[in-house]
Chain A
Amino acid sequence: MNLLLLLDMVAAGRGDEVAVQAGDDRLTGGELLASAWRAAELAVGASALAYVGTNGLAVPIGLFAAAAAGMPFVPLNYRLSDDQLHDLLAPLGDTLVVAEGDVAAALVARGHRVLDAGEFVAAARARGAAGEVPADGDGPAVLLYTSGTTSAPKAAVLRHRHLTSYVIGTVEFAAAGPDEAVLVSVPPYHVAGLANLLSNLYLGRRIVYLAQFDATAWVEAVRRERVTNAMVVPTMLARICDVLDADGGGLPSLRALSYGGARTPATVVQRVMTLLPDVDLTNAYGLTETSSTIAVLGPDDHRAARDGDPAATARLSSAGRVLPTVEVEVRGPLGEPLPAGEPGEIWVRGEQVSGEYAGGGAPLDVGGWFPTRDRGRLDDDGYLFIEGRSDDTIIRGGENIAPAEIEEVLLQHPDIAQCAVVGVPDDEWGQRIAAVVVPRPGATVEADDVQAFARRSLRGSKSPEIVSFVETLPYTETGKLLRRVVQADLLATG
């Protein structure tokens, strides 16, 4: 099934309602479909349609125009350097690049076929004749670069059938009430931004784009546009809390807030539950290669935790349960399925799971299972606990140690704002545990104190042997810690 069919259904069923909005610029479902067909004509002759820019109408028009033209949509991180963008674009062949501002000029200078994003949107809105929705469900719909926290970024290939399976399997067509609106502030090159667009469009929920995340602008947009739903990554969540704490105004229109994209410290979730007691909270876990969400911890789980249920409180640090359309297995080092309670590598299977990378490489096994390279465990009730990337696992004296467990403990220290735990090479133990700590502003904390605090909850083999202090830690745009940078910095400074 082709992605464009989803928009075609929206245009047929609720085509006169505003579907997407950026500032005061709005497009109904019908107008979006017509714009996509017109924009598809602009891309004739190209083999891919790339987008380098912030959130705006060019994103949905570009995505569906690419589908109408039978080519993949390739959203790229607009913060990359001109050289990096050039390197990512080069292997795509003859690409139409839609870009904002200065980036457009820089890419023209390097010989790319470029359209300014504003001109692209204006030309697309000049209305064209609609065509027949392509029957193709097997072609690549989107190429999406993975975060690259543990290795160089790879382009995941998401085919039409992966994305449409995800949407049809998780949301009901036109189920949103007429007053519902979602604020999309995750960047367009992140799978959550893509899933936000597709799910909410299909639901019939008005999509309000924030060009890029800023906590104050986000809070203002929720209030001004009477936003009912939103999805954010953990770093955004913490900053939103800071703004709400400072102004005390609340978010009366907001009904549901989901968070995901990286591990969220329990302290942040607790803070949101206190600040926004009436909002339904959902934690979503997924990967680029799985077309976004594969497990959710829902509002009922959050409320049970807030009401003090100890099992629910423990599950607050889980990713919840896998979707009914997805299967999960935790496997040991020999590939054997492990029973509940035992940690191992997380494998998933389902129609939304791609696992394919551009330029070859589809790591699905013969049974169609995809290795997430995340480590975790299931509890007796099927709640999935993520311990972190397999590549991040510290192996000290033969013992597998998940950095996340130690970081959760250190973050409980009143003077620690952020921390990263990594392994450093060691002749005796294979690896030793190092903690890199960002103290709270104005606080002073000593290495001895950090180690003593860790030993109160962790056994000796899991306590950091090396503690160093920094002013900031390196994170990606979407809140993922860049561990390989932390590790390299630590080794460079000794």
Chain B
Amino acid sequence: MFIPGTDIEGHMKLRPGQKLRSAVCDAQVVVVRAPSADVSLGCGGAPLLDDGQDADGAATLDPSLGDGPLLGKRYADDDLGLELLCTRAGTGALTVDGRPLLVKDAKPLPSSD
């Protein structure tokens, strides 16, 4: 299946603020930091969908990839300069170019508000 805005492997150009959703679970994310290079983002083994893209009904969740994202956690790949914020929890693990995306450590700042 060809998804507009992506190439044959599902690579796409991300932009900060972009909302993406899982094709196989309830997960939703927002792009906080976008890499300059095109990347392929997946959830549960299926490409993450942009607004307006329809899920491929045949896609199934691959549980071997790990746990799904948790609400409010940030997932990052510092080498790529990629950061996503999970705005809806899900059961499919987030991946970038086939590698797992790791939860970003929260370094608490002094409470200024």
Contact = CB atoms under 8 A, between A and B. Distances in A.
Interface string A28-67: 0000000000000000000000000000000000000000
Nearest to B87: A9
A280 B106 contact: no
A280 B111 contact: yes
Nearest to A284: B112
A200 B17 contact: no
B30 A5 contact: yes
B88 interface: yes
B109 interface: yes
Contacts of A401: none
B54 interface: no
Nearest to A294: B112
Given A168-B32, A173-B72, A299 B110 contact: yes
Interface string A183-207: 0000000001001101110000000
Given A161-B17, A168-B32, A258 B71 contact: no
A298 B110 contact: yes
Interface size for chain B: under 10, 10 to 19, 20 to 34, or 35 or more residues? 20 to 34
B110 A173 contact: no
Q: What does DSSP make chain B's interface, helix, strand, loop or mixed?
A: loop
B68 to A, nearest CB: 14
A256 B16 contact: no
Given A5-B87, A135-B51, A168-B32, A13 B110 contact: no
B88 A12 contact: yes
Contact of A231 (B72, B108, B112): B112
B36 to A, nearest CB: 16
B74 A168 contact: yes
Given A161-B17, A258-B111, A12 B85 contact: no
B107 A324 contact: yes
A344 interface: no
A174 B72 contact: yes
Nearest to B107: A324
Interface size for chain A: under 10, 10 to 19, 20 to 34, or 35 or more residues? 35 or more
Contacts of A170: 109, 112
A175 B16 CA distance: 24
A282 interface: yes
Contacts of B21: none
A292 B110 contact: no
A260 interface: yes
A195 B113 contact: yes
B111 A229 contact: yes
A96 interface: no
A172 interface: yes
Contact of B87 (A8, A161, A171, A296): A8
Given A170-B112, A280-B110, A9 B71 contact: yes
Given A1-B30, A324-B107, A173 B71 contact: yes
Contacts of A280: 110-111
A323 interface: yes
B72 A292 contact: no
A231 B108 CA distance: 17
A173 B109 contact: no
A323 B16 CA distance: 20
Given A9-B87, A135-B51, A173-B72, A200 B110 contact: no
Contacts of B113: 171, 182, 192, 195-196, 198-200, 231, 258, 284, 292-293
B32 to A, nearest CB: 6
Contacts of A256: 110-111
A371 interface: no
A173 B73 contact: yes
A170 B8 CA distance: 38
A173 B106 CA distance: 10
B19 A135 contact: yes
A1 B109 CA distance: 22
B78 to A, nearest CB: 13
Contact of B71 (A12, A168, A175, A323): A12
B112 A137 contact: no
B73 A175 contact: no
A260 B17 contact: no
A200 B112 CA distance: 10
A170 B17 CA distance: 17
A296 B17 contact: no
Given A9-B71, A9-B87, A168-B74, A282 B112 contact: yes
Interface string B1-21: 000000000000000110100
A169 B103 CA distance: 15
In the A-B complex, the 10 residue pairs with the smallest Cβ-Cβ separation, listed nearest first, are: A173-B72, A298-B110, A284-B112, A137-B17, A199-B113, A282-B110, A172-B106, A293-B112, A13-B71, A1-B17
Interface of A: 1, 5, 8-9, 12-13, 135, 137-138, 161, 168, 170-175, 182, 192, 195-196, 198-200, 229, 231, 256, 258, 260, 280, 282, 284, 292-293, 296-299, 323-324
13 contacts: A1-B16, A135-B51, A170-B109, A171-B113, A173-B72, A192-B113, A231-B112, A258-B110, A282-B110, A282-B111, A293-B113, A296-B110, A298-B109
Given A199-B113, A260-B112, 9 more contacts: A1-B30, A5-B87, A135-B17, A135-B51, A172-B106, A173-B72, A182-B113, A284-B112, A299-B110
Interface of B: 16-17, 19, 30, 32, 51, 71-74, 85, 87-88, 106-113
